Chain A
Amino acid sequence: MEYVNPEGLRLDGRRFNEMRQIVAEVGVVSRADGSAVFEMGNTKVIAAVYGPREIQNKSQQKNGHALVMCEYSMAHFSTGDRRRQKNDRRSTELSLVIRQTMEACILTEVLPHSQIDIFLQVLQADGGTRSACINAATLALADAGIPMRDLAVSCSAGYLNSTPLLDLNYVEDSAGGADVTVGILPKLDKVTLLQMDAKLPMETFETVFALASEGCKAIAERVREVLQENTKQLEYRRAA
Chain B
Amino acid sequence: MEGRLANMWRLTVNESKFVETALQSELRVDGRGLYDYRKLTIKFGKEYGSSEVQLGHTHVMGFVTAQLVQPYKDRPNEGSLSIFTEFSPMADPSFEPGRPGESAVELGRIIDRGLRESRAVDTESLCVLAGKKVWSVRIDLHILDNGGNLVDAANIAALAALMTFRRPDCTVGGESNQEVIIHSLEEREPVPLIIHHLPIAFTFGFFNKGNIVVMDPTYIEEEVMCGRMTVTVNANGDICAIQKPGEEGVNQSVILHCLRLASSRAAATTKIIREEVEAYNREKSLQKVKRHPTLAKPEVSGPIVVVKEGHKMSEDEAIAAEISREYVERLNLSSVELKSSKEQEAVAASPGNFKGGPSNWDPYTEAMDVDSLKASLASRGVSVTKSTIKKKANDSGNVQKEVTGDLEMKDTAETTKHKSGEMTLKDAVKPKKKRKNKSS
Contact = CB atoms under 8 A, between A and B. Distances in A.
B100 to A, nearest CB: 8
A106 B238 CA distance: 35
Interface string B30-74: 000000000000000000000000000000000000000000000
A185 interface: yes
Interface in A14-47: none
A190 B210 contact: yes
B37 to A, nearest CB: 20
A71 B241 CA distance: 24
Interface in B224-244: 229, 234, 237-244
B250 A97 contact: no
B367 interface: no
Interface string B255-268: 11001100100000
A97 B246 CA distance: 6
A69 B1 contact: yes
A239 interface: no
Interface in A142-190: 180, 183-185, 188-190
Nearest to B226: A104
Contacts of A99: 246
Nearest to B241: A197
A234 interface: no
A98 B245 CA distance: 8
A93 B1 contact: no
Contacts of A199: 117-119, 234, 238-240
Given A59-B3, A62-B5, A192 B241 contact: no
Nearest to B83: A89
Contacts of B362: none
B105 interface: yes
A102 B239 contact: no
Contact of A89 (B109, B245, B250): B109
A1 interface: no
Nearest to A71: B1
Contacts of A226: none
Contacts of A95: 1, 102
B342 interface: no
A206 B242 contact: no
A201 interface: yes
A111 to B, nearest CB: 17
Contacts of A213: 252
Interface residues of A, number: 44
B239 A104 contact: no
B96 interface: no
A209 B256 CA distance: 10
A60 B3 contact: yes
Contacts of B102: 92-93, 95-96
A205 interface: yes
B255 A202 contact: no
Contacts of B106: 92-93, 96
A191 B3 CA distance: 29
A202 B3 CA distance: 39
Scoring B1, B239, B250, B251 by chain A CB atoms within 10 A of each residue's CB, the highest score goes to B239
Nearest to A197: B117
A200 interface: yes
Given A102-B246, A190-B249, A191-B250, A60 B4 contact: yes
A200 B238 CA distance: 5
Given A59-B5, A92-B105, A192 B244 contact: yes
Contact of A185 (B1, B105, B119, B249): B249
Nearest to B10: A63
A192 B247 CA distance: 6
B244 A193 contact: yes
B217 interface: no
Contact of B247 (A104, A184, A189, A197): A104
B6 A193 contact: no
A69 B238 CA distance: 35
Given A60-B3, A60-B4, A93-B106, 10 more contacts: A100-B245, A102-B246, A103-B246, A104-B247, A191-B250, A193-B245, A194-B255, A198-B118, A199-B117, A205-B259
Interface of A: 57, 59-60, 62, 69-71, 89-90, 92-93, 95-104, 180, 183-185, 188-202, 205-206, 209, 213
Interface of B: 1, 3-6, 102, 105-106, 108-109, 113, 117-119, 210, 229, 234, 237-252, 255-256, 259-260, 263
30 contacts: A60-B3, A60-B4, A60-B6, A71-B1, A89-B105, A89-B109, A93-B102, A93-B106, A97-B245, A99-B246, A100-B246, A103-B246, A103-B247, A104-B246, A104-B248, A189-B252, A190-B249, A190-B250, A191-B244, A191-B251, A194-B243, A197-B117, A197-B240, A199-B117, A199-B118, A199-B239, A202-B238, A202-B239, A205-B239, A209-B255
